[in-house]
Amino acid sequence: MSKKKIIDESKSRFTGIEQTRTALFRELRKAGICYIKDIPWGTHLCVFYETDRDLIDIAAQYFRAGLENNEYCVWIVPESISPAVAVSSLQKVIPNFALYLQQLEILKFSEFYLNNGNFNRDNILSMWEKKVAAALAEGYEGLRVLGCTSWVKKKHWQVFMEYEAAINKALATLQIIGLCPYPLVKYSKHEMLEIVSNHNFAFLKSRFDENTITDLAKYERIELVGKMAAGIAHEIRNPMTAVKGFIQLLQSKKELADYNDYFSLMIDELDRANDIITEYLSLAREKAKDIKEHNLNDILRAIYPLLQATAVRENVDLVLSTGVIKDVYVDAKDVRQVILNLARNALEAMPGGGILAIKTYMASDKVVLEVSDTGCGIPQEILDNLGKPFLTTKENGTGLGLPVSMKILDSYNASVNIKSSSDGTTFIIYFPSKGSDV
């Protein structure tokens, strides 16, 4: 077979896979998880939970979203939750539950994962493919699964992680949404990192009352999330850097000049992925701060050329009005990040041009930073949940810029007031001034 024919056939197969992935990605489904709104087919999630009650709470809302949207649902329950208890828990939450009984399958973990105590990865993958095909044949939109991992012992660990990696790849072309629950107390930090790396999204479900949990326990959990995020970022960035280097090498070859647009697109997407990782780390990691006495006017003047250049490029008029204000105790880098995040959001809200106004002034003993735009305003449903991670109306947005900014401001006991209408949006930030009572 000629080299050209091999390349053409490879391109054809790749195009077919990408078309399938694109079609699945465009069809969003309700997640049924409060942290996540809509997700595409092929999404592979994991949750770390502490009690059976946590798992039941997750399952009830997760399956309600699936059942009410014509998805065939499969729950593989752990030994500690009987099928009868599982049914009862769903019945309490899902209206008209009896109508969905034919749409739901509840299995014991031993019936599904293990054959005479042995786990066979390939057999399980094949079973999922068959279940998807059967669900589609019955007229369902696809398959929604809540798996079980509490049975996984040390002897199963390596092969089960290989299974998770394989199914994470296989789901990309199947009409399945999978959620894998992991008991939080069972796994080490290194094992958690491996678990998270084999899923598209991970979250924690805990019933601990924030009013009673100790500060030490809070710190340990925040530290764990930060270390997990840092570890995952490191593991992702290393291969990304290598891939980008090889793409740039190929881009420099004259005989591949016809593919330059493709190479540039791949590099742009790698840079975007790196930006997302950076923003996520800003949200998850507690970094050392260099807190000193600063004047917000000085910080604004330092970044004004950058703001002005960006505003001109976006056909936006930048108006800076600085009043006589007191100093504040902050890390200047943090405040710059907040201003740039708010300014970027404002500019993106004015695609046809407008006015970006930034003011500073005193209100009683508070130093006020005000950032306003003449854009289209923030939809009420977004406004009600502003500051939550991954919430965005932008096609290419990460939903992390504002949560990072809110986290920074909270660390300085700064309060935020937001006003938004069809005429624009204004963020009013109140910093405690030097010498004031916090």
Q: Sketch the domain layout of the chain as residue ranges.
A: 3-207, 292-432
**Contacts from 90-93 at CB under 8 Å and sequence distance 24+?**
90/59, 90/60, 90/63, 90/64, 92/60, 93/60, 93/61, 93/64
Mention every residue, 6+ apart, whose C-beta is less than 8 A from residue 208. Answer: 50, 217
Please state, for a pLDDT cut of 90, what percent of the chain lies above it.
37
Which of 336, 21, 322 is closest to 174 using CA atoms?
A: 21
Look at residue 223 and tell me whether its pLDDT is greater than 80: no
Look at residue 411 and tell me whether its pLDDT is greater than 50: yes
Identify the top-confidence range among 47-51, 258-262, 264-268, 358-362: 358-362
Look at residue 374 and tell me whether its pLDDT is greater than 70: yes
pLDDT at 86: 93
129 in Cβ contact with 162 (< 8 Å): no
pLDDT at 135: 95
Strands 143-146 and 118-119: unpaired
Over range 120-132, report the average pLDDT.
91
pLDDT at 217: 45
**Contacts from 403-407 at CB under 8 Å and sequence distance 24+?**
403/283, 404/279, 404/282, 404/283, 404/337, 404/341, 405/337, 405/338, 405/341, 405/342, 407/282, 407/283
Tokens of 72: 């065939």
Look at residue 24 and tell me whether its pLDDT is greater than 50: no
pLDDT at 354: 93
The pTM is what?
0.49
Q: Compare 261 and 2 and report the one with higher pLDDT.
A: 261
User: How confident is residue 316, by pLDDT bands cut at 50, 70 and 90?
Assistant: very high
Look at residue 362 and tell me whether its pLDDT is greater than 50: yes
Over range 11-27, report the average pLDDT.
46
User: How confident is residue 15, by pLDDT bands cut at 50, 70 and 90?
Assistant: very low
With left for phi above 0 and alpha for psi between -120 and 50, is residue 75 left, alpha or beta?
A: beta
CA distance 60 to 155: 31
Q: Compare 210 and 368 and report the one with higher pLDDT.
A: 368
Over range 330-342, report the average pLDDT.
89
Mention every residue, 6+ apart, whose C-beta is less than 8 A from residue 391. Answer: 37, 382, 385, 399
Look at residue 25 and tell me whether its pLDDT is greater than 80: no
Strand-pair partners of 131: none
DSSP annotation of 171: G
Q: How far is CA 262 from CA 14, 33, 267, 395, in A?
A: 15, 36, 9, 21
Q: Reduced to 3 states, what is the DSSP secondary structure of residue 237? A: helix
pLDDT at 215: 43
Mention every residue, 6+ apart, whose C-beta is less than 8 A from residue 392. Answer: 398, 399
Tokens of 374: 């003449």
User: How confident is residue 96, by pLDDT bands cut at 50, 70 and 90?
Assistant: very high
42 in Cβ contact with 171 (< 8 Å): yes
pLDDT at 435: 66
- For domain 3-207, the question of CATH label 3.30.530.20 is answered with no
For the ranges 12-26, 75-89, 364-378, 418-432, the lowest mean pLDDT is seen at: 12-26
CA distance 345 to 321: 19
Domains 3-207 and 292-432 share a fold: no
Look at residue 255 and tell me whether its pLDDT is greater than 60: yes
Q: Compare 233 and 296 and report the one with higher pLDDT.
A: 296
pLDDT at 84: 93
Over range 49-55, report the average pLDDT.
90
H-helix or E-strand spanning residue 165: helix 154-170
pLDDT at 281: 57
- For domain 292-432, the question of CATH label 3.20.20.140 is answered with no
How is the beta sheet containing 424-432 ordered, strand by strand? 316-322, 354-363, 366-373, 424-432, 415-421
65 in Cβ contact with 30 (< 8 Å): yes
Which of 397, 373, 393, 368 is closest to 383 using CA atoms?
A: 393
pLDDT at 28: 85
284 in Cβ contact with 193 (< 8 Å): no
Is the CA virtual torsion 291, 413, 374, 343 positive or negative? Answer: positive
User: How confident is residue 234, by pLDDT bands cut at 50, 70 and 90?
Assistant: low
For the ranges 101-115, 160-174, 177-191, 264-278, the lowest mean pLDDT is seen at: 264-278
Mention every residue, 6+ apart, whose C-beta is less than 8 A from residue 207. Answer: 50, 51, 53, 54, 57
